[in-house]
Structure 1
Amino acid sequence: MNIKQAAEQSGVSARNIRYYEQAGLLTPARNPENEYRVYSQEDVRALKLIRMLRTLDMPVEEIGTVLNGTLPLTEAAERQRQRLEAEQQKLAAAAAFCTELAASDRTAAELDVDSCLERMASPAPAGGWFTGWVQDYRKMAAAEHKRQFTFTPDTAIATPQEFTAELLAWAAGCGEEIVITHEGMTPRFMLDGIEYRAVRYASHVRNIPILRVRCEVCDPSALAAEGDPKRLRVQRFLHYGLPVLVCLALAVVWVCTRNMPLWPDKAAMLLALGALGIGYGFRGWYLYYNDRDQ
């Protein structure tokens, strides 16, 4: 098809198609007889994808890295989300300043321009400390959920081939696409452009064998959350440790309300419940965190 037909099918103007070709986002074939561009259905689909991402205001350079596979779409979408959130905060601050100007009932001659420019150069953060803390926590939690996850296999996984089959079956059931990069009893695979390592764990609950597969990213820096390191450490501790802390607090309340000597009975009971809670908390985090079972 020619450029006019490609424009009609993709919804991208012929002028923009030429621009995307110059930017390296699209390389249509050429007719050997007259050197005219010949567009395929794959080119039309690429144009539709470009149109979608440009509607999200994603930079053209970044769209090019998505199209050539250098940058995973998920990572590009996360970067754009952060940019849009920053822009949203700027627009909210600008709208609030416009509201203040409209309500001040001052003329342009009466306005203290220097003061206004100083305020606009260093605006107060939107939402305050709590909003920023919550946003950072959400980013950290999203990164942790990508960093590791678990699922229950259907077979005992006695051979590397069975392990590969279980990983592929899990991916198909979740609608994910993975590529096995290394077979074995600790196989590796690529998911959304990130390499993971899978490990098989067996445990027993009331003499019933339970098999789990734990998948963890090979390079943690690939999913490192940005932010203040101290704040991230506190948030990570709360993310993983809050359920255990709540159980321990309930255990303390229960023990302290029992009619027994303070020492050594209550202390021994607290130590036992504390060790049990920490043990089960660790087991839950290691084998059941971010469960991907369908």
Structure 2
Amino acid sequence: MSNIKEAEEQTGISRANIRYYEKMGLLQPKRNEKNGYREYRPEDIKRILQIKILRKLDVPIEEIKDTFDRPEMFGKVIQKQKERLEKQRAELTDAIDFCEEIKEENLGEFDPQYYLKKMDEKEKKGAVFADLLNDFKKVSKAEAEARFSFRPDTMCMNPEEFEEALLQYASEKGMKIVITKKGMYPEFTLDGIPYTAYRHFSRFGAIIECETTNAKTAEHEMSPKRYHMFKWLHRMELPTFLLILILVLFVRSVEGFVLAMIFYAICGIVAYSRYFDYTRNS
């Protein structure tokens, strides 16, 4: 038997990740009856190593769990992941070829409409940019539904001003709003999606933040790493189209993604701060 520290040393997987796998139902170690501590049997260590390999292959957690629940599905899961990776390789090849077509050296001269039109033409001839762009659209829509903020015309110092700001926002967006709970922090539905609103202040005035836990997301349709990459791209809102092309060239690991984000944050820090002050639901 091994304790969690020993399991961490034997597998190279952090105890935080081991506990996460337990929470997701991938592991079920026994507990010592005397002290309640987890004890990892050799078969548990073997399973952690199996998870490690499958996660390195970017197999989604849900599919790994299905494999453990139904071992006979293992071959089909691996084949499905192989097909996904081959599709991603085709996307990378097309993206690399397309990068060679971009001639501008200055971002101000870069015309996304022109290149999007060229992408559409290539897609009709068999190129596979569609999944990359569609995934970004899915994540953008999910994030826009999950939370948004806007700057009202007043400071919203009382419930009446707060409610009026929400009604004005919905009117400007052409959306149907129903106030379900009045007060300083009202609850409401926007096109049927429930939200809670609260207020804070920035150097530019009041900001109303709206969040929901009931929005449909695209996270279950792609790997967490891919979802969170597109989530950050959505939030940054600098030249996202160009950044996607850059990222697909060299992001092969979490470390590569971190380096890309650091570089991007340095280049976009001013615009990033403005995002939190001015962003509106789109």
Bigger CA radius of gyration: 1
Shorter-chain TM-score tier: 0.3 to 0.5
TM-score (norm 2): 0.41
TM-score (norm 1): 0.40
